Chain A
Amino acid sequence: MIRLSEAATKQWLRQSGLPVPWGAAAHSADAACATVEAFPGATVVKAMVPTGRRGKAGAVLMADDGPQRGDAAAKLLGTVVNEYLTEAVYVEERIAIDAEYYFALLLNDAMPEVLVSRRGGVDIEDVTREAPEAIVRASIDPLNGLTKWAATELWLQAGATGPSLTHLAELSSRLYDAFCRADGLMLEINPLVLDKDGRLHLVGAMMGVDPHALFRHPVWTEAGEPLPANPRERAVALANRASQGGECQYVELDGDIGLLVGGGGAGLYQHDLVLEFGGAPANHCVTPPTSADNRKLKAVLSAILDNPALRGLLIGFNFAQMARTDIRVQTLIDVLDEKQIDTTVLPIVIRLFGAGEEQSRAMVAGRPNIHYVPRGTTLKQGAQLIVQLTAAARTAAENHA
């Protein structure tokens, strides 16, 4: 999921014709001060970080004239709020609050879910714990959307009455439409504010969108997403962003057996097996289906081989139905040679059957300690072999030291 900034979320909602208070992002105290030209009234200045609980963290300050906004921005910029570095602030029109509501949409199953509550303006986690009955939850049929009458029913159940009931229902229905058009996976409005004149305002707004739908939203990118701190994980994450097509992943773990394993089920299965035989994986990974473009595969292999804890490597895939085995093996050879890796101290087990297998076997023939297992070897036998070989390599290294 790609989390949009408060400014980007509100921009989308504003463009969708929804009632968003005036607001602007500022990256410096001067810029915050200058917002007074666009909007002269009372404002709040908020640290622009993708997290809730900002009020509690002291990251929402009152400010009216330009200098006050500048001071507030100077205080917030550079601080860490709930583990996020504040690189920008959001200056927003201050709304006179009469009541605060909560509204959220989630998409992680076949039916989107909507949550509404009259207990807005506080942490929804606290409400869930203290008064779960105050949150009304329902599924939405994607073919019908969130109809006005269904939304009315939800807000009635949540305890809303009178004119605000119809306004809340109407707004909820329109929020759902905006959420769908954004390819949203999560939208949280907290607080949804009712002002003294009976008008609703989307004061707190956070949205996460589908990374696979960015082709419909070219202004949003993954560029702002935080990268992992581990340099090998970071390199793979960057390689993944660098080109389209299948995705690659690399998660480093604390063992010493590198896993270059089939993306889905076979990867899970082999990881289980390595543990069962007493081995400890150095990583888990996902590689895209092999094509002529092997950049992502190469990035993952490089990360695995760059891990200083590595003592053995398992290259285990399902019997190839579509991919060619020789592209994978050629990539292995390239990376081994590039990094001048001595395989006499790094056992490698290869379990790759299918198209291109003959060429693949020829490529590694004569190289020491590369064990290309015979046809018919099961995934389990491959896992057992790498655990045994790695244990031997570990013992040899320890004796040497």
Chain B
Amino acid sequence: MSILLDSSTQVIVQGITGAQARFDTEWCLRYGTRIVAGVTPGRGGEQVHDIPVFDTVRRATEGRTIDASVLYVPPAMVKAAVLEAIDANIGLIVVTAEYVPQHDVIGIVAAARRAGVCLVGCNTNGVISPGRSKLGGVGGMNPSEIFAPGRIGVVSRSGGMSAEIGLALKAAAYGISTSVGMGGDAVTGLRMADYVRMFEQDPETDAIILFGEPGTDNEQEVAALVRAGTICKPVVAMIAGQFQERYPAGISFGHAAAMITDISKSASAKRRLLREAGIHLAQSLEEIPDLLRQALV
């Protein structure tokens, strides 16, 4: 059934009246995502692409079963919007905003964890179960050109690289069960290991692909799970950013999380750890299909 979402997942969009939300909502609807309501305080009664808009999440969920919420609210309002969604018992919350204040991030991550809610992001371009449904901007205006349905699970620190992985798999006639852009921030709701555990449990996923970057303990946690035997499905990992080790520590090269402050979190240290745990390492996207073929015999 893929992870996190499938064709029956019912979705609301918080901040649906904004420009990016309207754009993504249109392309999600065309893809088949079951968006059933939107929320913008003060705009209740309006419609966006024939979807009714409500003033609160509570009202948007009344009389409906809502499985997921996608948030397009600006960074300053993310914390309140996530807490509102948690309060309305929504089990999957996807936060697209970048630059959410750090104290707000740790607050919502802790609140989601306590409530047992799946929080994707912040700073994610979304989740797609190809051929079934998608949340967020992933795939843009033509997701089918990038993501083919199939049995490979993908979790990526970079939304852009999840598209490149989709293309590389498609070119080699592989398809995807679910592809998640987990967000590039230092602190995210669900962590890489959480997604890997979900893929392990998913009967429609045969193998898992990771795209990682320097910084944070995400890959170390996955390596520990594989070493412990908790994860039995083949895992192929690609870790970018080795070049950083040629330069002085502390220079930021992109994603906030990808700044090396600790050499044990560098790309090569992560690659070594993953390889020692039995994970297949790809140096380039082109190597991924071959590694999958070897792993899946």
Contacts and interface: CB of A to CB of B under 8 A. Distances in A.
A109 B186 contact: yes
Interface in A71-125: 107-112
B285 A264 contact: no
A215 B187 contact: no
Contact of A264 (B102, B251, B258): B258
B167 A110 contact: no
Given A263-B254, A268-B258, A354-B140, A183 B159 contact: no
Contact of A318 (B163, B246, B252): B163
B158 A272 contact: no
Interface stretch (B57-65, B104-112, B192-200): B104-112
The number of chain A residues touching the other chain, given as a range, is 35 or more
A286 B258 CA distance: 12
A213 B285 contact: no
Contacts of A210: 101-103
A180 interface: yes
Contacts of A247: 99
B107 A142 contact: yes
Contacts of A262: 158, 160
Contacts of B109: 110
B98 interface: yes
A212 B255 CA distance: 14
Contact of B102 (A185, A267, A281): A185
Given A268-B241, A272-B242, A379-B164, A321 B253 contact: no
B138 interface: yes
A396 interface: no
The number of chain B residues touching the other chain, given as a range, is 35 or more
Residue in A251, A267, A286 whose Cβ sees the most chain B Cβ within 10 Å: A267
Contacts of B98: 246
A149 interface: no
A141 B110 CA distance: 8
A321 B102 contact: no
A12 interface: no
A275 interface: yes
Interface in A251-309: 251, 253, 262-269, 271-273, 275-276, 281, 284, 286
B31 interface: no
Contact of B255 (A111, A265, A276): A265
A262 B184 CA distance: 13
Contacts of B254: 249, 263-265, 267-268, 284, 286
A320 interface: yes
Contacts of A22: none
A112 B140 contact: no
6 contacts: A109-B186, A216-B76, A264-B184, A318-B161, A319-B160, A321-B138
Given A266-B158, A284-B253, 15 more contacts: A107-B103, A141-B110, A183-B103, A212-B75, A215-B76, A251-B253, A262-B160, A264-B184, A269-B161, A284-B254, A286-B254, A317-B160, A318-B158, A318-B164, A355-B140
